[in-house]
Amino acid sequence: MSFDHLRATYFEESAELLDSAYAALAELAEGRADAETVHALFRAIHSIKGGGGAFGFERLVRLAHAMETLLDLLRDGALAMDAGRHALLLRGADALADLLAAEKAGTGAPPGGEDALMQALHAAAETAATAPPAAAAGWRLRFTPRPALFRNANEPLLLVRALRRLGPVQVTADLSRLPPLERLEPEDAHLGWVFELQADVPRAQVEEVFEFVADDCMLAIEPLAGETPGAPAAEPVLGSEAASATIAPPAIADAAGPTTGAPQSVRVDVAKIDRLVNLVGELVINQAMLLQLGGTLPPALCPGLIAGLETLSQHLRELQEGVMAIRTQPVKSVFARMPRLVRDLSAQLGKEVRLVVTGEATEIDKTVVEQLADPLTHLLRNALDHGIEAPEQRVAAGKPRQGTVHLSAEQRGGRILIELTDDGRGIDRARVLARARERGLVAAEAELTDSEVDELIFQPGFSTAAAISDISGRGVGMDVVRRSIQALGGRITVDSRLGSGSRFVLSLPLTLAVLDGLVVAVGREAYIVPIAAIAESLRPRREDIHAVVGRGEVLAIRGAYVPLLPLHRHFAVPDAQPDPARGIVVIVETDHAGRMGLLVDDLVGQQQVVVKSLEANYGPIDGIGGATILGDGRVALILDIAGLGPAATTRPMPTAPHRAAPLQPALQ
């Protein structure tokens, strides 16, 4: 393995460790932390320091060591966590992130940037009592390996030797987990050990001995002096499972059965996963072709072939789901960057802002996650600069001095919804409309709805800022956000109330590679409607179809009107069925425009399709989210329901008269 590869791996792992450190700091700030939270924070910083030392990053190592010293005092109870120490640790994590970024880029951070922080960390640590606990003569360690310890290239004898370098060690073997000879697995670790270290050394120094076996053992550490007979064992500081309250380690499970342990992982190059995704995509296309060819054969002629194709289809779907799961990762990797942005901007703007993050464990395609950082940064900057008011203005308006920004993620149907909500001033629609008319974006006599006015903020070059700053007001930002989200096959909507705040909703696909779609026929063309967007489909009755002057046709359905969009007219497809009563209406849900009816000729069937980008090979097309290859070799366009929305009316419809006669569903 080359040095460059090792270096790249270190930076990847350090980014993950920083994410976990920020998560632990967030738990500490919100009062959701326990003793293990501080331990996890310490281990993250220690691991970053260890790798940095191997690569000669001396400034990073010194800073991490100063943070370790303070954290060691906090977790041992010599100091209590308070707002000042929490802020110091946050600044330390930010500084580590800056140093890592500079080393990764090869530019080096400006000299002396962390000096003041180092002094503050040392001063905070010096406030603790320097005397060690009363008569602490050493440590007792109960070391219980997991069965896979040896298979992961770990050797307990090396741990004993490392302990003996700290001082005299008495070793006692624990045979309680040793199974009968006929059930003994020679590659599993069955023994445990109790080490008594007769040396007055810091606890952190003892833990360092075991840091490389943290995921392969349970380790409990307690002082030798001052112990009470019969007292429960100390909590484990390494290992991810909960410890028993008794001193004896838990009995091992039947050696013939499955063993449990910490989840194992392997780091794989993204290019290899992308190659695997592409191969699965080609298999999906070939499977669709085989199914279509098999459908042309009489079932009695080759029943085994038909059954085999159906089994192949099931296995291929499981394979596709498994491969796509490999590509997913939590949005936490992006959300973890936002607290620092909020802190820095709040200080720069003189505002008090609290960021609340929920749903950070929601998983989404890695490609989507990587491209979320810039749009979310733009939205947060906009919320803090334009949305959240100054503390004095908030108090005058009867609001708390501290503003709140809520960033959340959740999976809904086949999409991921990311919401950014603030309790600021909201959108001043009168001012937005006036600026839009001033710039010629809206005719002077035009009447716009509230939602149409809100959409103006996404126009290129639009801004209501009175002065240009380095935060906002340059006329770039919101249009960039929309283009970035649309490039991912997503959409963004905004909802705002003057004086109460704004809510931005990003709707994104779970994956960009494969989707379940309904194949519909329009003339001689075929289109794909994403299944996740479909509410129902039906063959309408002629008396339920009404023409609205200047608005096209609408369908009366269950007491409401749904605007109709004839796809043959929208895409200029010849030889299509123009009569809605003789076609089929596919009713789809949109995030912003509500329900809409797509008029098609016929339903061909449901199919899993491989998404091929049009933007990369052709260019963006309104209402089209990509293309795919059908089983007969034809190219079919995949509809972007959000892009089709503006083609149909979005204004409120009057209530339709309720009709008791049942609808004639074509597909539910």
Place of tokens 């039947």: 254
Handedness of CA 84, 85, 89, 90 (dihedral sign): negative
> What confidence tens digit (pLDDT) does each residue in 80-128 have?
888 888 889 989 998 999 999 899 988 878 888 888 899 999 888 887 6
Distance CA 569, CA 552 (A): 11
C-alpha 488/C-alpha 642 separation (Å) is: 13
117-168: per-residue pLDDT in tens? 999 998 888 876 444 444 447 889 999 998 888 877 788 888 888 888 888 8
What is each CA distance from 552 to 308, 563, 596, 626, in whole angstroms? 48, 8, 13, 27
Instruction: Categorize the per-residue pLDDT at 610 as very low, low, confident or very high, splitting at 50, 70 and 90.
Output: confident
Pair 236, 220: CB distance under 8 Å: yes
Question: Which of 579, 581, 597 shows the shortest CA–CA distance to 589?
Answer: 597
More confident residue, 525 or 250: 525
Angle at 133 between CA 129 and CA 138, to 5 degrees: 140
Is 136:224 a contact under the CB 8 Å cutoff? yes
Rounded to 5 degrees, φ, ψ at 296 are -85, -10
Pairing of strands 602-610, 584-590: unpaired
Q: How far apart are CA 645 and CA 622, in angstroms?
A: 10
Q: Is the pLDDT of residue 398 over 60?
A: yes
Tokens of 178: 């040793």
Distance CA 4, CA 16 (A): 19
pLDDT at 655 (0 to 100): 41
pLDDT value of residue 559: 82
Contacts of residue 473, Cβ cutoff 8 Å, sequence gap at least 6: 385, 463, 465, 466, 467
Query: How far is it, in rounded angstroms, from Cα 452 to Cα 383?
Result: 20
Calpha distance 668→291 (Å, rounded)? 23
Report the side by side order of strands in the sheet with 491-497. Answer: 353-358, 403-412, 415-422, 501-509, 491-497
Higher confidence at residue 531 or residue 643?
531
Question: Which has the minimum average pLDDT: 79-83, 234-238, 334-338, 350-354?
Answer: 234-238
- Quote the CA–CA distance of 114 and 581 in Å, as a whole number: 73
Of the ranges 90-99, 168-177, 622-631, which one carries the lowest mean pLDDT score?
A: 622-631
In 3-state terms, what secondary structure has residue 20?
helix
- Dmax of the chain from CA atoms? 94
Q: Which pairing describes strands 363-365 and 328-330: parallel, antiparallel, or unpaired?
A: antiparallel
Share of the chain above pLDDT 70, in %: 84
Residue 263 reports pLDDT greater than 80: no
How many other CB atoms are found less than 10 A from the CB of residue 592? 18
DSSP type of residue 523: T
pLDDT band at 606 (very low <50, low <70, confident <90, very high): confident
Who's near 625: CB < 8 A, 6+ residues apart? 489, 530, 611, 614, 638, 639, 640, 643
What is the band of 593 on the pLDDT scale with cuts at 50, 70, 90?
A: low
Say which residues have a Cβ less than 8 Å from residue 371's Cβ, sequence separation at least 6.
Answer: 484, 487, 488
Query: 102-111, long-range: CB within 8 Å, 24+ apart, which pairs?
Result: 103/11, 103/52, 103/55, 103/57, 103/60, 104/11, 109/59
Beta bridge partners of 563: 554
DSSP 345-400: HHHHHT--EEEEEE-TT-EEEHHHHHTTHHHHHHHHHHIIIIISPPHHHHHHTT--
pLDDT tens digits for 276-332?
877 887 787 788 788 778 777 777 777 788 788 888 888 887 887 787 778 788 888
* pLDDT at residue 654 greater than cutoff 70: no
Neighbours of 363 (CB within 10 A): 17
Q: What is the C-alpha to C-alpha distance for residues 317 and 311, in angstroms, rounded to an integer?
A: 10
CA distances from 218 to 45, 51, 146, 230, 235 (A): 21, 23, 7, 20, 10
pLDDT band at 1; cut points 50, 70, 90: low
- Computed over its alpha carbons, how large is the radius of gyration of the chain? 31
What pLDDT does residue 566 have?
92
pTM value is 0.59
> Hey, what are 306's tokens?
């038909």
Distance CA 431, CA 5 (A): 54
Place of tokens 């425009």: 593
Burial label, 273 (beta-carbon count in 10 A; 0-12, 13-18, 19+): middle
C-beta of residue 262 within 8 angstroms of C-beta of residue 216: yes
Average the pLDDT over 263-288 and give the result.
76
- Across residues 29-37, what is the average pLDDT? 74
Query: Which residues lie below 8 Å from residue 288, measured CB to CB, with a gap of 6+?
Result: 607, 608, 609, 630, 631
Task: Tell me how far apart the alpha carbons of residues 474 and 482 are, in angstroms, rounded to a whole number.
Answer: 16
CA within 13 Å, CB half, 518: 25
pLDDT greater than 50 at residue 664: no
Which of 29-43, 178-192, 468-482, 600-614 is the least confident region? 468-482
Half-sphere exposure of 186 (CA within 13 A, CB side): 0
Q: Which pairing describes strands 353-358 and 514-522: parallel, antiparallel, or unpaired?
A: unpaired
